[in-house]
Amino acid sequence: ILLIGLAISAGYLPIEMLLVQCGKPLQQTQMRFFVLLSNVAFNLALIPPFGIQGAAFGTALSYVVGALLIHIYAKKLLNLKI
């Protein structure tokens, strides 16, 4: 389950560092904080009914949220077409 989320987000991880390298460290930190909050929220919602599978699925979903945020931030802040 975790591998699926990681596989989806893997292509975007190098782009995340571009935010820092292009002078946007605050936006990168904000994005990471939002991913952290989404991970906590997904896990709080999914662990009680699904146990360990819910934890894995919640974490995988937060990886996907991170990839979507990287895509949005790269497009808006860096004018990248990905």
Provide DSSP, 12-58: THHHHHHHHHTT-HHHHHHHHHHHHHHHHHHHHHHHHHHTHHHHHHH
So what's the pLDDT on residue 60?
95
Q: What's the average model confidence in pLDDT over 23-49? A: 95
Q: What is the pLDDT of residues 44-67, one digit of tens each?
A: 999 999 999 999 999 999 999 999
User: Is the pLDDT assigned to residue 82 strictly greater than 80?
Assistant: no
6 near 66, Cβ under 8 Å?
Answer: no
Give the CA diameter of the chain: 42
What does pTM read for this prediction? 0.86
* Banded pLDDT at 20 (limits 50, 70, 90): confident
